[in-house]
Structure formats: C-alpha cells, structure tokens
Amino acid sequence: METRKLGALEVSALGLGCMSMSSAYGPAGDKAEMIRLIRGAHERGVTLFDTAEVYGPFANEELVGEALAPIRDQVVIATKFGFDIDLETGARSGGTNSRPEHIKAVADASLKRLRTDRIDIFYQHRVDPDVPIEDVAGALKELVSAGKVKHFGLSEAGVETIRRAHVVHPVAAVQSEYSLFWRGPEAELLPVLEELGIGFVPFSPLGAGFLTGKIDANTKFDPTDFRNAVPRFSPQARKANMALVDIVRAVADRKGATPAQVALAWLLAQNPWIVPIPGTTKLHRLEENLGAVDLELTESDLSEIAAGLAKIEVQGERLPEAALKMVGR
C-alpha cells in the first residue's frame, strides 16, 4: 500500500471511514462482520481508520476500538469531538459544544471506548460559533502535551478558522467533503492547505455512493438513511446528475476499472497530501476501493474528466439546510 503524509503523520493512501458500519446509511451492520471488515482492511494495507463520538452516538468508537485493539500500534485512529452530547446518556441537543472542558471530557471518554491511551488525530467535528477557535486549539495543545492526543484536526472548517487554529497549534489534517460530486474545496481550501502543509482527508469521496454507478433515480433508501433528507439525492436531482456518472463510467470502461475506482483515483491524482476515506460495510467493496491506489489516470484521462465536468452543473445541495449552516465558518 502506498503511503502519504497528513502533516508529519504517515498513513495509507486510502483510509477507511467507519461511520456507515453503525449509523447514517440505514441499520447498523452485524458487529462481528464489521470487526472482520476493519481487520481485513488492515490486512490489506489500510492504516487510517476514521470514527467519531457522534456516530451512534458512541457505538462506532466502541466498534473501532474493539476491532483495532489487537493491532493498536500498527494503525492510526482518528476520532472527533464538537457536538453537544451528554457523555453519560448519549443524548444530543442538536448543537455544538467545543468548550475546552468539554473537549477534554470527550477525549477521556473516547479513549476508553477506543481501548487506547492516545488518539492519533482528534478533529473538531464542526466549528462552534460560541467558542473562539484559539480556545479550541489551546485545549488540543494541552491534550497533546498530556500525551492523550497526537495530532489536531479540523472538519468542515473555513480557511480563516484553519489559519487561526494553526497559529496556536499545528493542524495536521482537515477533513471535508470532496469528490467529483462536490468540488467546493478547490476554490479556497486546497490552496490554503498546501500553503500551510496541512493534509486533506476527503469524506464521501464517492459522493455518498452516487459515483459508484449503483444508484439511480429509482433507488429506494432505507427510511433511516440520511440521504433521504439530502437535496442532491432527490429523485429529480439523481436523474439529472447521472451525466456525471456517465463521465466516470466511460473512463472506467476504457481502463478496465470500476466507476468507484476512477472516482477515487481522480482524488488521489489531485495532490499527494490527499487521503480519501471511503466507507463500506462489504469486503468486496473494500477490495474494489483499494484497487484505486494502483489505477493510474493519465493526463489524457484527467483532461477527459475535466472537459466532461465543465459541461455539467450538479443539481441539488450536498447537505440539508440545517447542516449547511454548520459548515465553513
């Protein structure tokens, strides 16, 4: 497996997003099967595993902790804080909470669930408008000094927030949505990350499954699947956005690959400090995704994709309105 750098941290070129094993995409997966999947990913070279306290809440951290306990020193575990969650009951207020004392309490709780003595990357999940980012970065600096956290990360933060945080304590990685389905980071975020030497971890690198070519206007999602509330996944938007899948599929067919592999290889080709974290609950999909690391897209391939993208205006917002209000401050 090829490796890449997130700041000073070396990880596999593709990580594994573990959220879907416990929440958001329908019913949780079978625990024993998910543990086998996580360990199977490591056997195939994956070293970066991504979770968060809010996934469940708590259930996903517990799953990841149990799965990785036997190989803890061989992997990098990333988790997140920042939502207002009762640490005893898991009840959510729906808002954010990045008060320094809460961050430290979350760190301790996450360490227990993850069965470890340190968190390799601790992301602020969403920027808290009520807490200066300098205070957040200061709390992370203290956690790093205490040995409980190794690296500081930010998720869905705006460029000014990133700059201010980085002054207080170096930011190793920023996580945001990025794919052929959503290219918003290209305008401002990616240039700033390159300037500051910060790694980028795209979540939903397959457009929440859309870029696999397995979803169309007639696809029915489980009632608990978050995509039911996403404008970009309305039947009308899906029908219009199939033109994007057609571009990826054309390249895939020519190269003897799958649309998912082309979509991931495209991301890997953008910059050497980009580490996508596709999620899955199926071993054959994991193996398919990992095949993207060895798929070389030529300049001609990339130009073909770019020319096709220039003719398409993707329809629908990428998140519900309430969620968009929590992004990019």
- Each residue's pLDDT, cut to its tens digit, for the chain (329 residues) gives 999 999 999 999 999 999 999 999 999 999 999 999 999 999 999 999 999 999 999 999 999 999 999 999 999 999 999 999 999 999 999 899 999 999 999 999 999 999 999 999 999 999 999 999 999 999 999 999 999 999 999 999 999 999 999 999 999 999 999 999 999 999 999 999 999 999 999 999 999 999 999 999 999 999 999 999 999 999 999 999 999 999 999 999 999 999 999 999 999 999 999 999 999 999 999 999 999 999 999 999 999 999 999 999 999 999 999 999 999 87
The answer to whether 178 is a known catalytic residue is no
Does CATH place domain 3-324 in 1.25.40.10? no
Indicate the domain borders of the chain: 3-324
Among 14, 6, 3, smallest CA distance to 277 is for: 14
Starting at the earlier edge strand, list the strands of the sheet with 119-124. 16-17, 48-50, 76-81, 119-124, 149-155, 171-177, 199-203
| Helix spans in the chain (H) | 31-43, 59-68, 100-113, 133-145, 159-168, 189-196, 235-255, 259-270, 283-290, 299-309, 321-324
Which residues, 6+ apart, have CB-to-CB distance to 271 below 8 Å? 190, 194, 200
From 25, 55, 123, 178, the catalytic residue: 55
